Amino acid sequence: MVERAGAGYTTAARTLHWLILALLIIQFALGWLMPDIKRDTPVTTLIGLHFSFGALILVVAVIRLGYRATQGEPPPEDGIPPWQTASARVVHWLLYVLLFVVPILGWINASWRGMPVSFFGLFDMPKIMATRAPGWGWTGDVHMLLANYAMLALVGLHVLAALYHYFFRRDGVLQRMLPGV
């Protein structure tokens, strides 16, 4: 049975949404605190945690996208202009793309650098490419640019839109994703 809180999201959808946010906050903090990764940088605790949380974000994103594909989403609130509904969908799908592309690029870059990627010390993840394979040195830079600029810009736009709906339109859009509402 699909649980619906009015026209809001299910408890599972809300939990996955806020879990992704919490993981992204941790991941950005780790990314900014860890040392720059250069040619011979060892995997420090912060780098190892960054790798682990990146893998966890990828796993939760797979679960979240699978849940959305099987359970759908509630219909848009009444009175929302079509351009806002369309732009919200575009932003959501771009965020999904980044939730997959950014961790995968990080994993590719770790493999390219010959750095082991452990999942919180429980097991080592497989290398997904040979160390220093020609033509893949760009992955770390693109990983960083997408995370620090594209992801942050889209998350910021998403938050601003939610606040706009809450404070100006007062139409219940934000409440559909709030826990316990």
Cβ of 129: how many Cβ atoms within 10 Å? Answer: 14
Encode pLDDT of 15-49 as tens digits.
Answer: 999 999 999 999 999 999 999 998 889 999 999 99
Pick the CATH number of 11-176 from 1.20.950, 1.10.8, 1.10.40, 2.60.120: 1.20.950
Alpha carbon 127 to chain centroid, angstroms: 22
pLDDT at 10 over 90: yes
- Residue 118: phi and psi, rounded to 5, are -105, 145
Encode pLDDT of 138-162 as tens digits.
Answer: 999 999 999 999 999 999 999 999 9
Find out whether 132 and 65 touch, Cβ atoms under 8 Å. Answer: no
Q: What is the pLDDT of residue 76?
A: 85
Beta bridge partners of 118: 124
Beta bridge partners of 124: 118
